[in-house]
Chains A and B, each alone.
Chain A
């Protein structure tokens, strides 16, 4: 495998096939835990651990997993890694673990993870599978950070708990409540659409 190919496998998850903004997968954790930047970081890290670990294991075992029961096998492998992540977070950062609540356990049913096993790790050798998983994790992490920091800045006037605007700032509370998650993600997707349309229009203009 050439270095360029490896680089491609890694970077496609960050921009071209970004799991949240382009594929619109894994919405539930994306919206539910991004009311502050700290939660977004913890969620991103836990998901990355599960994704990379399970992609490696699935791709290493791909020749031994019978086709008929592959989904069940994947889910059991993923659930094992999630249980590990859950226990580790509970031991290291109990406060964050409490805040995220059931959403750590819900990584099991995050479609990004099962989707990568089915689409990539189940058919490729371990090295590209891990690179692919790492790229997707970075893309997911970036998306979580975008949402988490936007919502925290607008909704609490702070970032990572550090106040930004001083005491005169009136927090836009709706942004840290559930509707804010939908609205901010809607806004970001709108921005993506707009950029894409401008690019298309410019290309059409250049060829005409």
Chain B
């Protein structure tokens, strides 16, 4: 049980996917303009992560022992189809959200956090349950980072900032400071 908690907290806070491993930076900088949209994209990404975790566990257990060189190709195909499914689901359930997410919804396919999740889970030989804890933790961490960033950027729109720093440069520096703050979690667990 305790290792499940460690996997979950580790993926969410200590080794936060976005701020520690630099994964999923495209949506992190692209969609973090509005708080609500950011939160929902985080949820969609978490959902894709959970499905990917399940199916990559199935792949590593049943298929990959026979064809190890297919690892990357099979993972990416699974991720692409899951994203396609989520896209259809959101389009049906909430057309407004579908429009707000725009190009970033299909781009979840090329969100490196998801492929990284599948690969790490395989290389660490997590069981099905451990993999699920890992996926939920990672998704939660990604959502947390995205929401924090969106909140900060909404506030910044009201502030006067020098023209030269506006745009990506400012986001980058905020992300640096956030990442420093997350380094504070590093002392939470001593063993990894």
Contacts and interface: CB of A to CB of B under 8 A. Distances in A.
A148 to B, nearest CB: 14
Contacts, number: 116
A61 to B, nearest CB: 17
B25 interface: yes
Interface stretch (B4-12, B46-54, B168-176): B168-176
Contacts of B165: 190, 193
A72 B80 contact: yes
B58 interface: no
Given A83-B69, A182-B175, A106 B116 contact: yes
Given A32-B21, A193-B164, A27 B26 contact: yes
Contact of B22 (A27, A86, A108): A27
Q: Interface size class for chain B?
A: 35 or more
A109 interface: yes
Contacts of B175: 182, 186
Interface residues of A, number: 40
A111 B26 contact: yes
Given A178-B20, A179-B177, A181-B22, A190 B72 contact: no
17 contacts: A83-B69, A83-B72, A86-B72, A102-B123, A105-B72, A106-B23, A108-B115, A110-B110, A178-B183, A182-B175, A185-B172, A186-B171, A186-B173, A187-B169, A193-B164, A193-B166, A194-B164
Given A76-B76, A111-B110, 13 more contacts: A27-B25, A28-B26, A32-B21, A75-B76, A75-B77, A79-B73, A83-B71, A102-B119, A106-B112, A110-B110, A179-B180, A183-B173, A197-B163
